Amino acid sequence: MIADALEGGFAEAPVQSARAFREILEAMARPGTIRRVQGATPPAPLSIAAGVALLVLTDPTTRLHLAGEADCPAVRDWVAFHIGAPLAKAEDADFAVGPWEALQPVSRFRIGQPDYPDRSATLIVECDRLVNHGPALTGPGIGAATWLNLPETAAFRANRALFPLGFDTLFTAGDRIAGLPRSTRVEAI
């Protein structure tokens, strides 16, 4: 384990994790809303927001898939020290993190079962930026409509068609995070 893996977690875990959890809940409850999180400094290439999401949402009982450039020794060591989440193949993962291209095809991630729709994956998609511009989002938690720069629309429209099954998504860029639950309708551009 490299020494850098010991750095970058929450300095005041009870307070910082509670605040971060609240921001993530707000992001999922109000799809397309961009929130700011802080408190973690994960190793590159993970963003602050992705590191915070991993610290708050994963633990030794949640299987984690590291995709693309996120699957590197520095991130593996950081996850092992700060979280203890077991690393898994995409099809077995409870959570996955990486850039959109590396998470493809998203059809390999768990979408739950009719009697247990909660047994699905949550994708943490690393983005270059997050802005409220792009496809229109409608559905639960959204007044009339909002917009978010998504990496594509087809996968999210197909995911919505599976509801109540499907994966949930968090988008991260720097210290910013936005949610897109499976219940959100994504309009074609």
- Domains of the chain, first to last: 3-186 (3.40.50.11310)
pLDDT, tens digit, for every residue of 112-130?
A: 999 999 999 999 999 999 9
Residue 164 is given by DSSP the state T
One-letter amino acid at 123 equals: L
Six-digit token pair at 171?
Answer: 């988008």
Taking the CA atoms of the chain, what radius of gyration do you get in angstroms? 16
97 strand-pairing partners: 66, 124
Q: Which two tokens stand for residue 102?
A: 């590396």
State pLDDT tens for residues 59-116.
999 999 999 999 999 999 999 999 999 999 999 999 999 999 999 999 999 999 999 9
Local confidence band at 30 (pLDDT 50, 70, 90 cut-offs): very high
Cα 69 to the center of its chain, rounded Å:
15
- Tell me the pTM: 0.95
Strand partners, 178: 171
Q: In this predicted model, what pLDDT tens digit does every residue of 115-171 receive, in sequence order?
A: 999 999 999 999 999 999 999 999 999 998 999 999 999 999 999 999 999 999 999
